[in-house]
Amino acid sequence: MTKAIRAGIVGYGNLGRGVEKAIRQNPDFELRAIFSRRHPNEVAASQGVVHISEVEKYKGEIDVLILCGGSATDLPEQGPELAALFNTVDSFDTHAKIPAYFEEVNAAALQGGNVSVISTGWDPGLFSLNRLLAEAVLPEGKEYTFWGKGVSQGHSDAIRRVAGVKNGVQYTIPVEAAVERVRRGENPELTTREKHLRECYVVAEEGADRAQIERQIKEMPNYFADYDTIVHFISEEELKRDHSAMPHGGTVLRSGVTGENNKQIVEFGLKLDSNPEFTASVLVAYARAAHRLSQDGQKGAKTVFDIPFGLLSQFSPEELRQRLL
Amino acid sequence: MTKAIRAGIVGYGNLGRGVEKAIRQNPDFELRAIFSRRHPNEVAASQGVVHISEVEKYKGEIDVLILCGGSATDLPEQGPELAALFNTVDSFDTHAKIPAYFEEVNAAALQGGNVSVISTGWDPGLFSLNRLLAEAVLPEGKEYTFWGKGVSQGHSDAIRRVAGVKNGVQYTIPVEAAVERVRRGENPELTTREKHLRECYVVAEEGADRAQIERQIKEMPNYFADYDTIVHFISEEELKRDHSAMPHGGTVLRSGVTGENNKQIVEFGLKLDSNPEFTASVLVAYARAAHRLSQDGQKGAKTVFDIPFGLLSQFSPEELRQRLL
């Protein structure tokens, strides 16, 4: 038996709790500490929580830190800072800022002699891998990504900022007819509206003008104006009871041609009861790879594109070849 | 512009012709030679064909050989022999013999200082990758592979060996109801019969006993006895007209759980008009990786599990991060 991989969790929200559960499913891992910015007494966890200011004391006692903060404000700061001290893995997902984030984390990780896997999870992450694979195999073709059915945090937040709205949840829903056209190899040109629907469950404040709320949501630029949007008004109790789960998923399709116009369709899909728990499970697999790459003497920032799948598995190369190839 | 990757094709059947077409879709490749065991004058190709006995003269002029022979007799001999001389990639698919084949090719490639990627294509290959990925992310779960709808060469050959059969084609067909049960997260235990149907199109010799042929096919051990099998008798003309294409495909599903019994489904699927052309396209992408690994100083046998996806692409890491992550 080789030594367990000693992991630390940074940030104890939905994602951090998901990582804690995922570590329990991976016998080669050991959770050494949970770090939080909150006062340790305020955080209810299965084990002692450590204030983030203490993290440097754990150098040499933790093999890899799993960063569970958000991409808006937490990771841009914590990512480079912690990459200078530890091997790290994160789910940074602000697409346009990934190249700059990569450079910053890379510089810090090189300086600290660590490996940092950035922007993993499922999109970016597993979806990105499938885009790359399908494009490399089918250079002549067209790629489609459909998201959902699932809760979009960004769109739910946008609803909740509308005047008169007490609470709300937004589901992104792929248009099945469009997905089917792609699966049939039609290579359609699809507008934003033709690809996804948006369905909103809204709790209005007492006495609020519902027609006005509905109009404001449907006309909101960037978020809803380009989509067919359905708005339902429900009670706070109904929202809690029926819309507290965090399902998500989606489909990446590539429709390509080879030879004399032979159609070749590659599809990758996820159907997730819990988006944060699945993302957490991906983070743990890439934490294993980060630790192994570091043990192998590698340094710097990596993405899912740089990491062979063999390093994600708890099993040996011999066993994987024998059992899964 | 970096120098083109100079490729050679060994074996000019369906797969070799597919590789020739795939190379045309990849601008960073250049086809240097096609090697065949047949007399070069007997092979109709877009360019001169060279007898396989001349291959050693091409050392230094070819960066990677793409081996397109069969797994039964060609590759067990050619794989190790050519791995000693060139970087190679192949689609060796005799599952039970992969570990031994890996060792043999590895020894030859190490001795020759080359990189050899074995057992790529889609199964083994892309399906294997998805099994590994889904298992690493969802260690608690169950994996299902469904093949088809597609032509199975092995089963078509078995039909043609039955007395009174002139020609025949066999389609492997997944049972859609079973696939749907897996997609719903039911985690069913499925028998061989519950997973796939077998549909045969048979051309009988004149005067042959069709009832006897049908019975012999349906009762054939290993190939048909454990399945629901449908046999159609058709004319040679119908067979040529309707069953000359080589479609295939299939689905790899993993149905797992995280946290408090949250179901998480990962699915990868292929729908291929041309099985050999798709396999050929995968071989070319892995030939690119073999060449790059070799340029990086690596040696020995590799499988799809050892190769980061970034090496499969003609595009730079910066572009891939910016465009696909």
% helix / strand / coil in chain B, to the nearest 5?
40, 25, 30
For chain B, give the mean pLDDT. Answer: 96
- Nearest chain B Cα distance for residue A303, angstroms: 8
For chain A positions 165-224, those within 8 Å of chain B (CB to CB) are 183, 185
DSSP bridge partners of A272:
A248, B264
Q: Which of A18, A303, A309 sits opposite B129 (nearest CB)?
A: A309
Angle CA(A314)–CA(A319)–CA(A324) in degrees, nearest 5?
A: 90
What is the percent of chain B with per-residue pLDDT over 70, rounded to a whole number?
99
Instruction: Write b or e for each residue in B277-297: b if 16 or more Cβ atoms lie within 10 A of its Cβ, otherwise e.
Output: bbbbbbbbbbbbbbbbbbeee
A119 labelled as ligand-binding? no
Tell me which of B71, B151, B321, B322 to substitute to probe the interface with A (most A C-beta atoms closer than 10 Å).
Answer: B321
Please compute the mean of the pLDDT values over residues A172-199 and round it to a whole number: 97
B residues 81-140 lying closer than 8 A (beta carbon) to A: 95, 98-99, 102, 119, 124, 126, 128-133, 135-140
Angle, alpha carbons B157-B158-B161 (nearest 5°): 90
Task: Using a CB–CB cutoff of 8 Å, tell me whether B240 touches chain A.
Answer: no
Nearest CA in chain A to B324: A128
pLDDT of residue A2: 72
Asked if the Cβ–Cβ distance from A119 to B318 is below 8 Å, we say: no
* A93 annotated among ligand-binding-site residues: yes
Does A1 score more than 60 pLDDT?
A: no
Cα distance between the two ends of chain B: 24
Q: In the structure, what pLDDT confidence band is assigned to residue A46 with cuts at 50, 70 and 90?
A: low
Interface of A with B in 26-45 (CB under 8 A): 26
B224 pLDDT more than 90 = yes
What string of DSSP letters covers A80-145?
HHHHTTS-EE-----GGGHHHHHHHHHHHHHHHT-EEE-S-SBTTBHHHHHHHHHHHH-SSEEEEE
Q: For B270-288, how does the pLDDT look when each residue is reduced to its tens digit (9 = 90+)?
A: 999 999 999 999 999 999 9
B198 carries a ligand binding annotation: yes
The DSSP annotation for A157-175 comes to HHHHTSTTEEEEEEEEEE-
Beta-strand pair B228-233/B196-204: parallel
Q: Is A154 on the interface with B (CB under 8 A)?
A: no
Query: Which pLDDT score, from 0 to 100, does residue A42 have?
Result: 80
A35-39, A78-82, A191-195, A200-204: lowest mean pLDDT where?
A35-39
B92 is in an annotated binding site: yes
Q: How much is the pLDDT for A41?
A: 79
pLDDT tens-digit map of B154-169: 899 999 999 999 999 9
Q: Report the 10 Å Cβ neighbour count for B237.
A: 9
Which residue out of A21, A123, A128, A137 would a mutagenesis test of the B interface target, given it has the greatest number of B Cβ atoms within 10 Å? A137
* B14 → chain A, closest CA residue: A259
State the nearest Cα–Cα gap between A93 and chain B, in angstroms: 9
Over range A44-53, report the average pLDDT: 84
Residue A21 has pLDDT above 80, yes or no: yes
Between helix A14-24 and helix A275-295 the angle, nearest 10°, is 60
Q: What is the C-alpha separation between B185 and B100, in angstroms, rounded?
A: 36
Question: Can you tell me the mean pLDDT for A26-44?
Answer: 90
Give tens-digit pLDDT for B141-155.
999 999 999 999 889
Average pLDDT value for residue range A162-189: 97
pLDDT of residue B136 exceeding 60: yes
How much is the average pLDDT of A193-213?
Answer: 97
Put simply, the answer to whether B313 touches A136 (Cβ < 8 Å) is: yes
Q: Do B305 and A282 touch (CB under 8 A)?
A: no
Please check the confidence at residue B48 and state whether its pLDDT lies above 80: no
CB contact under 8 A, A18 and B133: no
pLDDT in tens, A102-157: 999 999 999 999 999 999 999 999 999 999 999 999 999 999 999 999 999 889 99
Which one-letter amino acid corresponds to residue A13?
A: G
Q: What is the pLDDT of residue B40?
A: 80
> Which residue in chain B has the smallest CA separation from A259?
B21
B289 pLDDT tier (thresholds 50, 70, 90) = very high
Backbone φ and ψ for A204, nearest 5 degrees, come out as: -90, 150
Res B38: pLDDT: 86
Q: Which of A119, A265, A325 sits opposite B325 (nearest CB)?
A: A119
- The pTM score is 0.96
Q: A79 a known binding residue? A: no
When mean pLDDT is compared across B39-48, B87-96, B181-190, the lowest value belongs to B39-48
